[in-house]
Copies of this chain bind each other. A is one copy, B any other.
Amino acid sequence: MTTKELIAGIAQETGMRKADVARMLNATVEVTTHHLLEGHSVQIQNFGMLEVKTKNERAYVHPRTGVRSVVPEKRQISFKQNPALKEALNRK
């Protein structure tokens, strides 16, 4: 599902204009990104939580050449689904 399709779906669900939905979705991404970049997690009710995780630097050996190097520490965003969503995903 593309962002365009998502916007159309939200507009249909709420009766709002697509332009307003797009503006709000952009603001959601902006506000969320801002907080994540500051290292804070963002909770989304009935859905889950986006959080920044730091992966430690680690040694890496190239499988073919045997050359050793260090993969630097990096931050990445991970999504933690809430329990209801987890259950819905795995209901038979």
Residues of A within 8 A of B (CB): 1-3, 6, 9-10, 13-14, 16, 20-21, 23-33, 35-37, 40-48, 50, 52, 74-79, 81, 85-86, 88-90
Report the copy number of this chain in the oligomer: 2
Q: Name the one of B16, B26, B89 contacting A36, with C-beta atoms under 8 angstroms.
A: B89
- Say whether chain A's binding surface is mostly helix, strand, loop, or mixed: helix
Task: Report the Cα distance A35→B47, complex, angstroms.
Answer: 13
CA distance A74 to B86 in the complex (A): 9
Expressed in whole angstroms, the minimum distance between the Cβ of A27 and any Cβ of chain B is 4
The reply to whether A47 and B32 form a contact with Cβ atoms under 8 Å apart is yes
Chain B residues with Cβ under 8 A from A26's Cβ?
Answer: 46
